Structure 1
Amino acid sequence: MSRQIVLDTETTGMDPATGDRIVEIGCVEMVDRMLTGNHFHVYINPERDMPVEAFNVHGLSEEFLSDKPVFAKIAQDFVNYIDGGELIIHNAAFDMKFLDHELENIGLKSLSSQCSVIDSLKVARDMYPGQRNSLDALCKRLGIDNSKRTLHGALLDSEILAQVYLVMTGGQDSLFGGDTAIEQSVEVSQNLMAALADTAKVPSDKTRVIYANADEVSAHDAFVAKFKK
C-alpha cells in the first residue's frame, strides 16, 4: 500500500529565520493514488502580527487567528497524521523550511528527517520546461477547475494539487472511479480505453481475449509518461 500526503501551508511571510510563522496547514491523503477523504486541517496562532502583504494572499487576519491553537499544541497531531506517508508539496523547499523550523523550535525532529518529499513544482518543470508552472497555470493547462480559489487556502490548495499531481503523473485515478475533474482531464486516455474495450468485445470465434488488469494498465501509463517528459 502506497500512502501519500499532499500538503500546503500558509504563512506570515517568506522566511522563518526573520520571525515569520505558519498560520495554516492543510493535507489530503491518497492511498494507492486514490483520494481517501482523510484530511488534516488547522489554523494556527502565529503569536505575532499579520503583515498586509501576507493577508492579501490568504485573507487570514490577526483577529481571526487570535483564538486558534499555537503550533506546539497541534504539532504532535500533525506528526502522527503524516507518519509513514510520502509528502507531495508544490515548491517543497518553502513549506519544508517553515515546518522544519517550527518542529525544531519545540524540540521535535525536523520533517526532512522523517519523510520523503516529492516536489510537484519540479515534476511540472520537467514536464513543461520554459512554461509557467504555478498551481493556477497547471490547472488551466490540465483542465482542472480552480474557480473556488479566490484566495490561497492550505486545504483547498492541497485538494487541487492532488488532482494536478495525479493528472501529471498518469491519471490512473480517473480510470478507476476518481474525481470528476481528473476524469475530464484525461478524456483522451478514457476514450482510448473505451475504443480498445469495444474492439475486444467482438472477437472472432477462435480469438482468445485477455483483458489488462489494473496493475498492467498502471505499468502502461508509467511507460507512456516517460515519453511525455
Structure 2
Amino acid sequence: MYAVIDLETTGLYNKDRVIEVAIAQLDAAGRVTATWETLVNPERDLGLQDRHGIRAAEVLSAPTFDRNAGDIASMMLGRVPVVHNIAFDSRMLASEFQRLDLQIPDLAAYGVCTMSWAGHFLPGAGRGLEACCAAYGIENDHPHHALSDVMATAELFERYLRDAGPVPPWAALSAFAQVATWPALETGRAESVHRGNGETSKSFLSRMVDRLPVVPDPPQADMYLAQLDRALVDRHISATEGEELLRIAADMGIDRTTATELHRGYLAALAVAALEDGVVNEAECADLEQVAALLELGAEAVDAALRAAAAGTGPTPQRAPSHSEGATSWSSQARSPRPRTTGASASSRPDSRSP
C-alpha cells in the first residue's frame, strides 16, 4: 500500500549524491511489513559529515547507487510514497536515476508528504521530523540515520492514518501508484552495508532548525525553508549553490522578494531560539551573523532580529508540544521576562502534499 523512503545525501543540490537510503513498506493501516536499507558509495566526498554522521571508511565497501537502483525500484513499485519533505527526496532520487539514464515517477505528484500534512494533523507544530514526532511522543533514537528516520516517519504516518478516520484524504492516490512506472531492473545486485549507531554532535544551528515554527504563507514556504535548513547547517553557500537555491525557490513559485522576507523571518526565529535561555553567547552570535551574511541580509538584520526577540515580538520556536496540547505557528508571541543578551546586540491530479 505505502512505501516510506528517506535519503541521506552529501548536500541538497542536484550535483550532490545519495549516501544512504532506507525504505519501509506499510500496509493500509500503516503497519510496517518490510524494511530495506543500505549505505551508498557516492564515489566522492561525503559533504557535511556532522549532519549525517557517515564516515568515509563506512562507505568504502558500500555499493554504488547503480547496484541499489533495482532494489529501490522494486520496493517502491505500486506503492504510495510517504516522505517527510517529499520535494527534496523526490528530486534527489530522480537525479540519481537520471545519472543512469533512467526516469522514475515524480514522488511528489502522487505521494504523501508528512511535513506538509503536519499543518492539518498537528496545527502549529514545527516542520522538522523531530518536532512532528515529539508532538505525538514518537521517539527517533538516531536522527539523520535513514532507517531511523524512516521508522519515525512511518510511525508518524500511522498516527495520521488513525486521526484521518476510515478513508484518509489521500486514499485516491493508490490508483496513481498502481500505474506509476518504475524501471524494470535486476534486484539483489549487491549486499546492503549498514553503519554503526553512534550519536552525531549537533551545533546550535543544527539543533534550532528542527524547532523553527511553521510558516503558513505562502503554502510552499515550509518546503523551501526545509531546503534552507539543509543548506545552512554547514554555514556555507557558494555562489553556485546560491543560484541553485534560487532555482529551487523558483520551481516552488517563490520569487526573490518573497524569499527575502522568508529569510528575514528565518533569521528572526533563530534569534528567538538563541535567546530562549536568556543569553546569546559568542558562538550563537557568530552563527546568527554568518546566517545573515549567507542570506545577504546585512549585519543590521541580526541586531534587528535580536531586538525583536528581546522585546518578545519575534516568531516563537516550537517546544515539542503534546498532540492534545497543540502548538504555535509562525506568529509574534509575548515572551517574559525580557531576556538579556551577551556577545550580541539586541492541478486536477490529487495533491497529497498539503491538505
Q: TM-score, normalised by structure 1?
A: 0.67
Residue matched to 2:144? 152
Aligned length: 169
Are residue 13 (structure 1) and residue 11 (structure 2) matched?
Answer: yes
Aligned partners of 2:7, 2:127: CA distance in 1, in Å?
18
Q: Which runs of 4+ in 1 moved over 4 A?
A: none
Q: Of residues 78, 86, 95 in structure 1, which corresponds to 2:80?
A: 86
Aligned partners of 1:45, 1:59: CA distance in 2, in Å?
14
Are residue 164 (structure 1) and residue 156 (structure 2) matched?
Answer: yes
Q: Of residues 124, 129, 136 in structure 2, which corresponds to 1:135?
A: 129
Using the TM superposition, give the Cα deviation of residue 186 of structure 1 relative to its aligned residue in structure 2, in angstroms.
9.2
Are residue 110 (structure 1) and residue 108 (structure 2) matched?
Answer: no
Which amino acid is 1:38 matched to? A
Aligned partners of 2:20, 2:73: CA distance in 1, in Å?
15
Q: Of residues 19, 29, 40 in structure 2, which corresponds to 1:33?
A: 29
CA-to-aligned-CA distance 1:130-150 (integer Å, 9 cap, x gap): 43121111121111122x12x
Q: Aligned to 2:16, what secondary structure does the other structure show?
A: coil
Aligned partners of 2:107, 2:122: CA distance in 1, in Å?
30
Are residue 69 (structure 1) and residue 63 (structure 2) matched?
Answer: yes
Structure holding more strand per residue: 1
Using the TM superposition, give the Cα deviation of residue 114 of structure 1 relative to its aligned residue in structure 2, in angstroms.
11
Using the TM superposition, give the Cα deviation of residue 36 of structure 1 relative to its aligned residue in structure 2, in angstroms.
3.6
> What is the Cα-based RMSD across aligned positions, in Å?
2.5
Using the TM superposition, give the Cα deviation of residue 158 of structure 1 relative to its aligned residue in structure 2, in angstroms.
0.6
Using the TM superposition, give the Cα deviation of residue 126 of structure 1 relative to its aligned residue in structure 2, in angstroms.
3.1
Aligned partners of 1:128, 1:12: CA distance in 2, in Å?
30
Aligned partners of 2:21, 2:90: CA distance in 1, in Å?
12
Using the TM superposition, give the Cα deviation of residue 127 of structure 1 relative to its aligned residue in structure 2, in angstroms.
3.3
Aligned partners of 1:162, 1:34: CA distance in 2, in Å?
7
Using the TM superposition, give the Cα deviation of residue 103 of structure 1 relative to its aligned residue in structure 2, in angstroms.
0.6
Q: TM-score, normalised by structure 2?
A: 0.44
Structure holding more helix per residue: 1
In structure 1, list runs of 5 or more residues that go unmatched.
174-184, 188-228
Which amino acid is 1:25 matched to? V
Contact 1:166 1:172 in 2 (8 A): no
Q: Aligned to 1:88, what secondary structure does the other structure show?
A: strand
Aligned partners of 1:39, 1:171: CA distance in 2, in Å?
24
Using the TM superposition, give the Cα deviation of residue 105 of structure 1 relative to its aligned residue in structure 2, in angstroms.
1.2
Using the TM superposition, give the Cα deviation of residue 35 of structure 1 relative to its aligned residue in structure 2, in angstroms.
2.1
